[in-house]
Structure 1
């Protein structure tokens, strides 16, 4: 028994440090000296070393059988899967996926920065725009931004942030683009959608990346000025999130058309005749140019290639005869411009394909490459902006709203919810900022973009729900004073678009991540598809070495609770816990892929758990990066620790769920022993930590201000009904300053020292009895006036048209 334990310890130690084969052989030779059972174990050990070390033996006894097995259980990559796998780049997420993150690499990524021009645009033009926005007005009356707002948006280049300066655009960094969107979103979700989408996946981005010189010279200046308004028509009612299944079809042929841009008539030209039906297309009802995705066929071989060319993207002026786009959807009563687009037998010339004829059939690859950029920016920024707004307003609200004589922030249940709001907001911005750093470094991390889109929109749902619960009736009653309702209504929109979240979680994050991020899986699959036995052997041998190392590190770290190299500092323990879980995730993923093969794609409950573990490990690493990026401030440590601990706890929970549900119970037993040798190690954030985070947020000071930077906060009189946000801080400050006096009055009343009937009369009585000075009584009256202004909800006439214009006219006490 002792000999076996020694051998297992040797295996763990050598695997832990990924020892070279000669060192394994040396260990086996040392065993021969032990005699007895140890000698026989040493002989078996050396035999295994010989098999793995001699390529011919390894191929014959290991790789060839594995080659045949995997050939049967792994389906080939489809054309759309191949395009998705090839799109974008692999970046920091691969460090996590392969089980051994290099934290120095993370620390050395440059922090995203704003240029002076970008900072000025956020501080001035964006601030001005936000002040012009009135969500209630155009949500319930105009159903559109006012003309003066649209004019300002176009003149100041809000819809030209991604367009190069030489074409009249801003050419902002991805980071600046995101922060502008964040600030607008913190003011108005509907306005943010309308302003962000022209800068996201759409004609401008596709033209800039792939367009011909003629297309760039014509369209980009017009898009930059707002002369043309773009939209991109991809989603079909018959395909939904499965964009590769769109039925919209175009056929290469000769035809005639009138160019609506200049009225010129063109006869017998080579082009495409297309019919299509699209829906859920943002900006479509007011667009002047549509980017259209369709399947292109060439039955007559006019382009000289294959018959089925594939998904293609083209530019069509919406004024073309037979193209319909002047209808609107009403997405969850959020009135941004969104609607269907359809057309039948529309003919256009071949050079209207984005990129020209050379890019016919390249549309799916183009979309995958560009979508991963937009998916990192638009909806994540919307979510971050909404979360910042909810975090700040809720922190102020719990300080002014009182129950049972106390601010509701003093109640632990409310404090727990507020701490969750803070932690999720911290996680959301950290995850996006790390992705933006990659984009601005020239990376295009498609897997990270799916993580950020999914997790930010899902975390926003939690943030808004907690904020609504804390605000109670204040957030339920609609009206111009309700600053949460519009964001609550917008949550399902972000969850639905740019890839529905259920699909993104179950199919994209881990499915695409396994192909793209694993050091060896894609090489193995390509070798299988090419019947390349030698190539498979090389990749498989490296895969076995990596997997055994992850298994050993997972086991050892599981016993110690943490391990591996980690940066020093107040969160050093979190880095080491992330090391353990990264190794555990990598080994668990290998076992799941080995035992389930291609069936893992259909086992969405399992692949979804792997996606959760992967995403939360990325989020934890992003939070660690953010804490250091912001100077490792001691006052921000509780919030950062809460955010990291929550992510690590949820990552481990996902892994435990997979082990509990893995169909192959022998493999599950192996994982349980290897990944959880002493049971689960991570706990949900402690109550004391949550209480500290809640207390820090209620100070409305440095921690909260850093958490909610880039939000819009109006500068207006505290009693301005059009700016209910401006009423919160003055009320909170006044209430806090008079809190001691109010407590004294309550105690006096309890003792029977104050007998007047109304609160106002009690103040007069307290002055008469010299319990208060006149000045103190006046300060209490002013605090109550400000509190009344902050907590009042809207009421309307009997037709629900005109809101109350004087919140003080109903004052009784």
Structure 2
């Protein structure tokens, strides 16, 4: 019996040391103590114990004595690693190293430190930022709407453009020292979100100058002279910037742009100076048709060695005035009726002096690093914010519409099929808004999490597509028929634009999220690659044996969690008790992801970056874990409002179901079948139990967005305040606001209906006034209540009706209105100039 205990102690001890990734010193002490215990209790012969010690001692000494380990094990390993290490170009390396890692690294490492996440301050606005959101942003929403911008102006109206410039919308990220607003990332995000609940052209026109573009590049890399010249002008809206990166033959593969600039000398301001002779073909450049200053990325070539460095310095960024000789700009693309200003720009052998290089001569060749570092932050704001805004528009308006719209004598929101769609809409909005908020909070803490920004861009835009599509299905013909009363059709048309820009979503999923994540977020891989390439044996040795310990640790953890179903995984203290299963599930999935990543890198090797289906599934697991933890963090940040629990449960269960589906698909399709079998046996020996939100949860979520209350208010917070005096589209909200009182009247009259004194309230709103008049005549309701019912009926009818037009769709009238307004704007401009 004692012998069995002694042997079991060896197995248990080794497992515990592996589970906790113990240092070799602890292994040495543990094995020595185990052998000593065997001798002390006489559990094995002296000869057997001596053989054990003779076998263990050299191995332990080799692994423990660092100089010996480096010489015998690490140097040969470094040579082998160099041979199999995937080669990265300079542009790939810049992309991988852009930004930094944050909570995403914790999720990738198999043992997330919850204190790090929960200690991140909740995003907040300063009083000045809140006032700007409540006043200036609200007014810009009043001035812009999707129908006028798409059907009349094909742009923002002149009045909206003027207001946006005058009030500093184009300079929100520019510091106050240069005349800008100096807003936080969260304030920037909130402004774009609100504008997107009203008008996509307004949102895009504001977000581009504040995102990846000249202002941000100047702030981080510009010379003092460039900052002093351009930033005040950009802040005042005197200059409108755009940035030209995309080339017809280098779209998503932007690092391969074929636009070139040859270093040469040329005349500038009356003297010969050093510069570039640049030729370019760019497209999809937002704000290009109206831009006054053009940011341009090109590949610099120095064949004559005029810069005294490399013959091909690399991608470089310049800032060129619109009226610079040779610049062709002004034509427009037509991106799916989004009608924001977007178009091409070209140039042939345009001489650009060196002073126009962003950052000056020292930054020649540094453009790709600039772009990747700025994109690492900007991608976390612009598209997540605008798509959360569109999603809130859909949920807020559709939730109100289904409450007031009746079919078969009941609100259409009462039908289970409709509730299923409503639940998806609301659940996805809760989740994507949580992601948006957490990403902005990270930026405001000084982080530049490139992997997180890619996750936010991809998953928020994809879920916005689901939300808007479901909304269109629910409102049916109301969404199909275009007109000023249609609140959703333009969003439906514009969703593919978000899917495409800032890295097409297919590429973002299969290459960027996991491609960067596998290298940047892994605790050892990037160090191994750097030190192996540089031949630095000391850090390589530490990383190599850290990696080995990390791999075996995750094997032990995965097996433990797999056998127990994760029931004994620890959870952070002080969190909502009812949500602890989600914390446990996150830790278990994190361990599975870490183990699957290491086995995939080991078995697939350098070919992994070409296995888009495999990396996409691994990236899906990482992404769903980030979404899930964003949801949990949001619930804590908002003070655990119990009313929001249906949203939380739906979003968390959906994320886990998606992560589970990705895991099962990974095992079924892994290119190395032995690795897949090992992962199944170690990580999920009894399978993986994840399920989508059930019907009860869906019904609870759907109910919350069909009635007034704090849960609905928090879900759509930050939206434009729809007012009937500004736009008749607000009729849906007015009717929704009156609906509870009308329902209360109906409930009060149930007894009279049963007694036959009055009929049931008709679902035909044109007859509702007669019904109310009858009730008033019998003394069942007051005159004030009859007036309230009349107001409800009028606005609800307005909400339900769809627009119709003259046979020519009033095109002539619309054009006349546009021309008259443009003429008036021109007069105003002349008066100001005079």
Fold shared, TM-score > 0.5 on shorter chain: yes
Q: Does 1:75 align with 2:75?
A: no
In structure 2, how many angstroms separate the alpha carbons of the residues matched to 1:360 and 1:769?
Answer: 84
Q: Does 1:536 align with 2:540?
A: yes
Which residue number corresponds to residue 166 of structure 2?
155
2:793 to 779, 784, 800: 784
Q: Does 1:595 align with 2:628?
A: no
In structure 2, how many angstroms separate the alpha carbons of the residues matched to 1:147 and 1:13?
Answer: 69
In structure 1, how many angstroms separate the alpha carbons of the residues matched to 2:408 and 2:777?
Answer: 25
How many positions carry a matched residue from both structures? Answer: 796
Q: Does 1:369 align with 2:377?
A: no
**Quick check: 1:795–1:803 contact (8 Å CA) kept in 2?**
no
Measured after TM superposition, the shift of residue 410 of structure 1 is: 1.6
**Quick check: 2:749–2:780 contact (8 Å CA) kept in 1?**
no
Q: Write the deviation string for residues 480-524 of structure 1: whole angstroms up to 9, x where unpaired.
A: 011111111111111111111111111111111111111100111
Q: Write the deviation string for residues 364-395 of structure 1: whole angstroms up to 9, x where unpaired.
A: 01111111121111111101111111121122
In structure 1, how many angstroms separate the alpha carbons of the residues matched to 2:264 and 2:812?
Answer: 59
Which residue number corresponds to residue 634 of structure 1?
642
2:15 to 12, 15, 26: 12
Measured after TM superposition, the shift of residue 165 of structure 1 is: 1.0
2:613 to 590, 605, 610: 605
Q: Does 1:382 align with 2:397?
A: no
Task: Give RMSD over aligned pairs.
Answer: 3.1
Taking the TM superposition and a 5 Å limit, the aligned residue runs for 1:505-516 are 505-516=509-520
**Quick check: 2:379–2:453 contact (8 Å CA) kept in 1?**
yes
Which residue number corresponds to residue 396 of structure 2?
392
CA gap 1:122/1:29 in 2 versus in 1, 3 angstroms: same
Q: Please state whether the residue corresponding to 1:478 is helix, strand or coil.
A: coil
CA gap 1:387/1:28 in 2 versus in 1, 3 angstroms: same
Taking the TM superposition and a 5 Å limit, the aligned residue runs for 1:394-473 are 394-473=398-477
Which residue number corresponds to residue 819 of structure 2?
none
**Quick check: 1:275–1:342 contact (8 Å CA) kept in 2?**
yes
- Unaligned residue ranges in structure 1 (runs of 5+): 258-264, 806-813
Measured after TM superposition, the shift of residue 683 of structure 1 is: 2.1
Q: Please state whether the residue corresponding to 1:376 is helix, strand or coil.
A: coil
Which residue number corresponds to residue 230 of structure 2?
219
Q: Does 1:115 align with 2:139?
A: no
Which residue number corresponds to residue 736 of structure 2?
729
In structure 2, how many angstroms separate the alpha carbons of the residues matched to 1:441 and 1:61?
Answer: 44
Q: Please state whether the residue corresponding to 1:348 is helix, strand or coil.
A: strand
In structure 1, how many angstroms separate the alpha carbons of the residues matched to 2:74 and 2:746?
Answer: 75
Measured after TM superposition, the shift of residue 726 of structure 1 is: 4.0
Q: Does 1:625 align with 2:629?
A: no
**Quick check: 1:280–1:329 contact (8 Å CA) kept in 2?**
yes
Q: Write the deviation string for residues 321-368 of structure 1: whole angstroms up to 9, x where unpaired.
A: 221111000001111000000010110211110111011010001111
CA gap 1:600/1:94 in 2 versus in 1, 3 angstroms: same
In structure 2, how many angstroms separate the alpha carbons of the residues matched to 1:41 and 1:795?
Answer: 90
**Quick check: 1:727–1:790 contact (8 Å CA) kept in 2?**
no
CA gap 1:766/1:729 in 2 versus in 1, 3 angstroms: closer
Measured after TM superposition, the shift of residue 637 of structure 1 is: 1.9
Which residue number corresponds to residue 691 of structure 1?
699
In structure 2, how many angstroms separate the alpha carbons of the residues matched to 1:766 and 1:585?
Answer: 67
Q: Please state whether the residue corresponding to 1:339 is helix, strand or coil.
A: strand
Taking the TM superposition and a 5 Å limit, the aligned residue runs for 1:223-372 are 223-257=234-268, 265-372=269-376
Measured after TM superposition, the shift of residue 75 of structure 1 is: 1.8
Taking the TM superposition and a 5 Å limit, the aligned residue runs for 1:791-810 are 791-801=800-810
Measured after TM superposition, the shift of residue 65 of structure 1 is: 5.7
The TM-score with structure 2 as length reference comes to: 0.89
**Quick check: 2:197–2:389 contact (8 Å CA) kept in 1?**
yes
In structure 2, how many angstroms separate the alpha carbons of the residues matched to 1:65 and 1:742?
Answer: 88
- Unaligned residue ranges in structure 2 (runs of 5+): 815-834
In structure 2, how many angstroms separate the alpha carbons of the residues matched to 1:69 and 1:748?
Answer: 90
In structure 2, how many angstroms separate the alpha carbons of the residues matched to 1:136 and 1:168?
Answer: 33
Q: Please state whether the residue corresponding to 2:482 is helix, strand or coil.
A: coil
In structure 1, how many angstroms separate the alpha carbons of the residues matched to 2:8 and 2:56?
Answer: 14
Which residue number corresponds to residue 149 of structure 2?
138
Q: Does 1:172 align with 2:175?
A: no
Q: Does 1:615 align with 2:623?
A: yes
Q: Does 1:523 align with 2:532?
A: no
CA gap 1:42/1:623 in 2 versus in 1, 3 angstroms: farther
Q: Write the deviation string for residues 274-299 of structure 1: whole angstroms up to 9, x where unpaired.
A: 00000000000011110010001111
In structure 2, how many angstroms separate the alpha carbons of the residues matched to 1:349 and 1:82?
Answer: 29
Q: Write the deviation string for residues 378-430 of structure 1: whole angstroms up to 9, x where unpaired.
A: 11110111111112112212211222211122222222221221221111121
CA gap 1:670/1:796 in 2 versus in 1, 3 angstroms: same
